[in-house]
Structure 1
Amino acid sequence: MLSTWLSLHGVFTLFSLLVYVLMSHTLHQRRHPSAAIGWVMLLGLLPYLGLPLYLLFGTRKLTRQRAVRALPTAPHRNTLAALAAALGQPPPVGYEALAVHADGAAARTALWAAIDRATHSLDVSTFILGRDGLGDAVVARLIARARAGVRVRVLLDGMGRYLGGHVDLGALGAGGVQVRLFVPPLHSPLRGRTNLRNHRKLVIADDQFLWCGGRNLAAEYFVGDQNKPAWHDLSFNLSGTLAQQASALFAHDWAFAGDEPHPAAFETRQSELSSGAQLIASGPDQRDDTVYALLISACYRAEQRIQIATPYFVPDDALLIALALAARRGVLVELLLPAHSNHHLADWARHRALRTLVEAGARVRLVPHMLHAKLIIVDADWALAGSANLDSRSLFLNYELMVAFHAPDAVTAFADWYQHESINAQTYVSHPPGLWRDLGEGLVLWLAFQL
């Protein structure tokens, strides 16, 4: 009896490991080495628990990926634009009237303008829709546009909906707004993994006007309220062809959330623009880790500066080495972080990487408030802004949206925002960790890459 059980146990263990190997190979599941070791140990030691968990949470890339655009792109003088195109992203296109929002009040004004200007369609994608003054005002405005005859669609992350205070989706539906949840907690495994969240944030009016960035639609991301102090964040708006590309991306996500066939890929004519802007989508629906690949390449091509604003900084070894080597060869590498973010484990996990960068000659600056902005500036011809943090969840798991700007005037606008945000920043002082702190940081880092 025991020998039979051991034989069955061995067969199931081998089967579990085989599933891991096959799915990792066929679905291109790139993982941090510690995450791979963790899964193998769990499947080998506790296969009855490990296999269900792996099937639920273990995959990063979907078999149903976004269609690669049929039209080839023309060569670009900008190597980062060319790399993005090679990774399946649309080519740089023109845009008009870029406005980088100076603060939460300006962002709110631009958001109201985006919603109120819609005459035939209004699409909203967000991770969190708050049950607070800002969120309630968004809901009221969306209902008003729907009752005015505008087709209004709201795509809300299935887990993020619970982080904003349980927004009243029934009121939206009753007001004529179409609402879909992106991968709710309880769903068929065929509809995507629960740990793969939609972090993309955008508002599109009439397929022509785009409001985008890192802000969720809740009070603290704008001007705050009596219960939540305002965070410092980054958003922007523009109009033109780039907004049409964003509309096509929203249509893709909307169809996925409704288990509908993919819409036809948005076709952009061949372009030799080197000073336009480029939509950069990253996540399980992309074959590659797009934002991560661009960041690595940007570090090695930078000549003057790499300036980064992010709330959470937990890079993997390759990105950390790329930043450190850039600093060692004389590039100004500067990070702008909150002194204390809203995720204490992320604050704990970042110190090992920060010490490495400081030793390499990089500058790390800390602001006294919560900074939620996501911005990377490289030299004078590349700025990347949007929803992606510099941690493993954003770079390897979440659905994210960034916009790459190549025009010098656009890069200058984002650089001006960065400099203004840096006014009250203090220099990070690196201290050698004690034994227990070093062990604690290592444990937190190991846990951070198990996702």
Structure 2
Amino acid sequence: MVNSVLDHAFSLHGLLALLGLGVYVTGSRTLHQRRHPSAAVAWVLALVLMPYVALPLYLLFGNRKMVRRRERAELAAAKGSSGAARTGPLEPLAAALGLPPPACYARLQIHEDGAAAAEALHAGIARAQREVLLSTFLYGRDAFGEALAEALAERVAAGVRVRLLIDGVGAWLGGHPDLRRLEARGIEVRLFVPPLRSGLRGRTNLRNHRKKVIVDGHWLWSGGRNLAAEYFTGDAHRAAWLDLSFDLEGEAAGQARALFERDWAFAQGQEPPPPMPRDAEAPGPMQRGGVVQPCPKLQLIPSGPDQADDTLFALLVSSFFNARERIVAVTPYFVPDETLLLALTLAARRGVRVSLVLPERSNHRLADLARHRALRELAAAGAEVRLLPRMVHAKAVVVDEALAFAGSANLDERSLFLNFELMFAWAEPDDVRRFAAWIERQAVGAHPYHPRHPTLMREVAEGLLLWLAFQL
């Protein structure tokens, strides 16, 4: 009798293990999911040893892609002007990744600080005539959030449609914004994959980290700031963080609008809308004396589960391997995968100036601990690491005089492989220099990182954390 029960248990265990491995292999191959080696090993071991626990967890959290490769062209919904050719240092890789074509932009403003960012945001919203679209990871239940809600309510009263998309986890982390009060003011609010309430529409660990505000389809405000007090000027309870945002006009805003519509539809469990035609009011090539002048262009880089490839990761790695003079980056969390770290260390070893600006202590202590192994490798290769004695939340990378990246993504595995992120890349030399100068101004007062040989316990702790780096 006992042997029969044991045989049955082992048979059930083996059946579940085979089923779990089959689901893992099929999902990984069908969705072409790149995995960190430690994550792959962890899933395989768990599915073999504890299939009854691991299989439900894998079905809930294991898949990180939601599109197939044949769908990669859909994000080119808002195209640039019909006569614009794809040009720039990111081509042809951006085209191969299915990213939208480079888009015209005008009047780029890089906000020097939180006060300038808030002023630009409120001024842009005040000009709205038709619609205001806002996407944020979290919305603060604070004085900043209240003032923004008042500004949005004023536009609603003027007949402007206002939609606000908040990440489901971010809504909780941001102090539970009063969604009913926002909706009572006429603001349409949706939560993006709220935990335990999203069904099969998304995985709880795949978060929407994109930050953007689009007004009338032709003005864009974006960057790394969430819509809460600490990301701007702070308040009585929280000091202001160092962050980066910008605003601009042009076709790039139309592309960001198309991306918002896809995210909005996904949050409601609907099919993405058809490609949106280029906004008639978006400025294209300028005309002077009847002659069409070329306009500056940027590359919009959506990254995440809705992209068939790891778009930002691919563009960063390619840019780092091609760097000749400098790679300067600012990020709150630095937990790169092995490939990105290799690209940076090899650049430093061949004489490229590699410089990172980080917070001495961030708001995520586990990420701070996990970063030290990578920082020691970079320091040994000759890279420069500068630590600021305040919280840094800005995200930007400058490569040579050729490229500047800025937006919502951190240089960590969660941003590069799990989150829905939005970055932008500029190739105009003047704008690249402006982003580089902004980073250098903010780095004043930083002190150098001095690596220390870790104790055995610390090294073990770092290694364990790196196994969880996707989730940090």
Match of 1:78 in 2: 88
The answer to whether the 8 A contact 2:105-2:295 is kept is: no
Taking a change above 3 Å as real, the CA distance of residues 274 and 324 of structure 1, as seen in their structure-2 partners, is farther
Is 1:50 aligned with 2:42?
Answer: no
Is 1:424 aligned with 2:434?
Answer: no
Cα deviation per residue 1:12-62 (whole Å; 9 max; x = unaligned)? Answer: 211111111111111112110100111111111111111110000011000
Work out the percentage of aligned pairs sharing the same amino acid: 57
Correspondence 1:374-389 to 2 at 5 A: 374-389=395-410
Correspondence 1:293-304 to 2 at 5 A: 293-304=314-325
Measured in 2, the distance between the counterparts of 1:266 and 1:30 equals 31
Match of 1:186 in 2: 196
Match of 1:218 in 2: 228
The answer to whether the 8 A contact 1:77-1:274 is kept is: no
The answer to whether the 8 A contact 2:104-2:295 is kept is: no
Instruction: State the 1:187 CA deviation.
Output: 2.6
Measured in 1, the distance between the counterparts of 2:75 and 2:163 equals 25
Measured in 2, the distance between the counterparts of 1:345 and 1:188 equals 28
Amino acid at match of 1:56: L
Match of 2:363 in 1: 342
Match of 1:359 in 2: 380
Segments of 5+ residues of structure 2 without an aligned counterpart are 286-292
Is 1:12 aligned with 2:25?
Answer: no
Select 1:145's aligned residue among 142, 155, 158: 155
The answer to whether the 8 A contact 2:89-2:402 is kept is: no
Correspondence 1:70-109 to 2 at 5 A: 76-109=86-119
Correspondence 1:122-271 to 2 at 5 A: 122-266=132-276
Cα deviation per residue 1:225-256 (whole Å; 9 max; x = unaligned)? Answer: 00001100000000011111111111111111
Q: Normalising by structure 2, report the TM-score.
A: 0.92
Measured in 1, the distance between the counterparts of 2:451 and 2:190 equals 46
Instruction: State the 1:447 CA deviation.
Output: 2.0
Instruction: State the 1:4 CA deviation.
Output: 2.4
Instruction: State the 1:93 CA deviation.
Output: 1.8
Taking a change above 3 Å as real, the CA distance of residues 179 and 242 of structure 1, as seen in their structure-2 partners, is same
Q: How many residues align?
A: 451
The answer to whether the 8 A contact 1:90-1:268 is kept is: no
Q: SS state of the match for residue 22, structure 2?
A: helix
Measured in 2, the distance between the counterparts of 1:268 and 1:110 equals 24
Measured in 1, the distance between the counterparts of 2:26 and 2:84 equals 36
Instruction: State the 1:273 CA deviation.
Output: 7.1
Correspondence 1:402-413 to 2 at 5 A: 402-413=423-434
Q: SS state of the match for residue 133, structure 2?
A: strand
The answer to whether the 8 A contact 1:274-1:406 is kept is: no
Match of 1:116 in 2: 126
Cα deviation per residue 1:168-189 (whole Å; 9 max; x = unaligned)? Answer: 1111111111111100112344
Measured in 1, the distance between the counterparts of 2:137 and 2:333 equals 17
Q: SS state of the match for residue 205, structure 2?
A: coil
Taking a change above 3 Å as real, the CA distance of residues 274 and 288 of structure 1, as seen in their structure-2 partners, is farther
Instruction: State the 1:436 CA deviation.
Output: 1.6
Cα deviation per residue 1:405-444 (whole Å; 9 max; x = unaligned)? Answer: 1111111111111110011111111111122221121111
Is 1:327 aligned with 2:348?
Answer: yes
Cα deviation per residue 1:118-148 (whole Å; 9 max; x = unaligned)? Answer: 1111000000100001111111111221121
Segments of 5+ residues of structure 1 without an aligned counterpart are none
Measured in 1, the distance between the counterparts of 2:57 and 2:450 equals 41
Measured in 2, the distance between the counterparts of 1:38 and 1:178 equals 41
Amino acid at match of 1:85: A
